[in-house]
Amino acid sequence: MDEFSFIKSIKPGFYRQSSLIKGINDDAAVIRPTGEDIVTAVDTMVEGVHFSKETMQPYHVGHRVLAANISDLAAMGSTPAFFMVSLTIPSSWNQEELEELYEGMKQLAHLYKMDLIGGDTVSGSELSVTVTVIGTVPKGKARYRSAAKPDDVLFVTGTLGDARAGLEWLLNGEPKVDEDVAYLVKRHRTPSPRVEFAQSLVSLSRLTLNDVSDGIANEANEIAEASDVDLLIDAGKLPFSKAVFRKHPERFEEWMFSGGEDFELLGTVSEEDWPLVEKAARNIGLPVTRIGEVAIKREVSPKVWIRRDEHMEVLGPSGYTHLKEKGE
Amino acid sequence: MDEFSFIKSIKPGFYRQSSLIKGINDDAAVIRPTGEDIVTAVDTMVEGVHFSKETMQPYHVGHRVLAANISDLAAMGSTPAFFMVSLTIPSSWNQEELEELYEGMKQLAHLYKMDLIGGDTVSGSELSVTVTVIGTVPKGKARYRSAAKPDDVLFVTGTLGDARAGLEWLLNGEPKVDEDVAYLVKRHRTPSPRVEFAQSLVSLSRLTLNDVSDGIANEANEIAEASDVDLLIDAGKLPFSKAVFRKHPERFEEWMFSGGEDFELLGTVSEEDWPLVEKAARNIGLPVTRIGEVAIKREVSPKVWIRRDEHMEVLGPSGYTHLKEKGE
């Protein structure tokens, strides 16, 4: 197909955001800020690295790459507003598949009233999708990894390890699809960024958020490092679904730490404000679980600790290596 | 190399833009707008499609992909401020080459006081660079393709066809490098976006700008279509360098229309304001040439016409096909 035609072919008929002055159709898009801060991030997914046609249909690819970007905005407390898409298209993808991919983005964009305001389409040897997202946040309300303080409550939304279990079924599962499989596969293919949860906490004066893209082992270490504190996680308190427990009783614990791509939010908040977090989650029907606390660092460099019974272990960014080594 | 390490490894030690609240190091960057409009665009370059190691060193790749994006901002009348880089890295590129590539971006970013505020690094089978740029423009001063009006002066900055001639030498040239070759190759490898020129016209109430990325045949048609007018180009007035004339007397005319990647600015302005455009260009030492005018459209759909002697011909978006067919 014509190198330049795809993005133009999906040009929206109208825009939803009133702050947009110029969308697709010129050299660049123009936005008139409304007094809020602007938040932006970019993320790339490559076929054969981040997904394959064996485990995802084009629709899921579109959904997931935009969801991953929106999740970054959610982790900043930001409301999504715009996105741009740069597509590298190999000859193995046809127009219909590209439209399906875009449909996956469009459904999610619709949900968050996001406008597609630009992009690029080029040819190449492998499918690659780069999404740039732009959102807004009230002045001074961006949620940083560096905001955690000793004695904060450490919490996480939803359940962990589901997306990894869904991928496992897609790669190695038995043909039979039951309710658990359907749930886990959905968690892998069409994750839900936690935008509403983050937005509902806008009144809190201090809040730390980080989205679970690589696994909480990594994300917890990022918070510890940025805030220069220790995090203590109670292994027994980590939230998991019945589905992941039933399907993978021996592996789900590892996946909770390092499975990744659940796109839940890991955060910290003062003990005083914790009930407000619980209430906000209840109001939108999203589970939130207290999984530990923030502490003054014990050593020179900040660390994440796993507490199990009376026993503490360090949790590195790539996961719970002790458990993995013992094959527990 | 570690999938995530490259963008972090080039994290700037300080930021230049005072409107930046949070740069690299969190889920997303945060910008506090200063009362101006925000302008944004994205562009991808893929090895083997847009460049090859045979004609460009990594430094040039970095320079050119950022220059192409900055050129889009210039064509909106916008001042560059931020950029994000998403890199897909194949095993055939080593750390040193990646650093060189980044150095090419860094030098240009330095010139325009732009800050690197985010990005992504993934592995893949071919090198691909996606750059997102963000700039600012005073409210209501973005320069659209749709602003041209009948009787406007049609102008272009600099000279045309040079970048294509530079590429020609890199692909098929004789080994000897003279001053002309050096000039043309430089125009191909390290183009200069016309930011200063566009900025110096900020006081004009109406101005059309489009940057010459695909060739003025394409760009002129974009203006004609967006503004619903005809453009008349005097073939004899198109500006070319002595170098391109001396090296390619038989092909330079075709390349002026459709060579592309000169990253000059094609624009229209009222007859009354034309002297101000000439003056602004003189002040920054950049040639600007009046190459024709805007007219009421003659037919149902807007068109670009080439005027040569007494004779008019239609110029399609992909170039001067008549000339090419006759082999003139």
A235-245 per-position pLDDT tens digit: 999 999 999 99
pLDDT at A178: 96
Kindly report the CA angle at A77 between A72 and A79, in degrees rounded to 5? Answer: 80
Residue type, A320: Y
Alpha helices in chain B (DSSP H): 5-9, 58-74, 95-111, 162-172, 179-189, 195-199, 216-227, 242-247, 252-258, 274-284, 321-326
Superfamily per CATH, domain A5-137? PurM-like, N-terminal domain (3.30.1330.10)
Dist CA A53 CA B126 (whole Å):
19
Residue A322 has pLDDT above 90, yes or no: no
A contact residues 263-322, partner B, Cβ 8 Å cutoff: none
Confidence label for B320 from pLDDT (cuts 50, 70 and 90): low
Q: Which residues contact B249 (CB under 8 A, 6 or more apart)?
A: none
Q: What percent of chain A has pLDDT over 70?
A: 96
Kindly report the CA angle at A215 between A192 and A153, in degrees rounded to 5? Answer: 85
Sign of CA dihedral B211, B213, B218, B222: negative
Nearest to B46 by CA among A87, A235, A60, A151: A87
Could you tell me if B76 and A30 are in contact, meaning their C-beta atoms sit under 8 angstroms apart? Answer: yes
Residue B1 has pLDDT above 70, yes or no: no
pLDDT tens track for A264-276: 999 999 999 999 9
Confidence label for B3 from pLDDT (cuts 50, 70 and 90): very low
Sign of CA dihedral A282, A285, A291, A292: negative
Dist CA A34 CA B37 (whole Å):
10
A22 contacts in chain B (CB < 8 Å):
142, 144
Residue B323 has pLDDT above 60, yes or no: no
pLDDT tens track for A256-265: 999 989 999 9
- What is the least distance, in Å, from the CA of B310 to any CA of chain A? 33
pLDDT tens track for B90-104: 999 999 999 999 999
pLDDT at B322: 46
Mean pLDDT, all residues of chain A: 93
Mean pLDDT, all residues of chain B: 93
Segment B116-141 mean pLDDT: 95
Segment B281-310 mean pLDDT: 96
- Tokens representing B290 are 């009046």
A126 contacts in chain B (CB < 8 Å):
124-126
A contact residues 27-86, partner B, Cβ 8 Å cutoff: 27-33, 37-46, 48-50, 71-73, 75-76, 78, 84, 86
A124 contacts in chain B (CB < 8 Å):
46, 48-49, 126, 128
Nearest CB among A72, A118, A130 relative to B41 is that of A118
pLDDT at A5: 63
Coil, helix or strand at residue A229: coil
Coil, helix or strand at residue A165: helix
pLDDT at A6: 73
- Tokens representing B88 are 């897909």
Task: Tell me whether residues B76 and A26 touch, CB distance under 8 A.
Answer: yes
Could you tell me if B217 and B318 are in contact, meaning their C-beta atoms sit under 8 angstroms apart? Answer: yes
Task: Tell me whether residues A32 and B38 touch, CB distance under 8 A.
Answer: yes
B117 contacts in chain A (CB < 8 Å):
40
Could you tell me if A212 and A156 are in contact, meaning their C-beta atoms sit under 8 angstroms apart? Answer: yes
Number of CB atoms found within 10 A of residue B20's CB = 16
The domain limits of chain B are 5-137, 145-326
pLDDT tens track for A78-106: 999 999 999 999 999 999 999 999 999 99
Sign of CA dihedral A203, A207, A212, A214: positive
Does the B145-326 domain belong in CATH 1.10.10.10? no
- Tokens representing B325 are 């067919």
Nearest to B95 by CA among B76, B121, B117, B130: B121
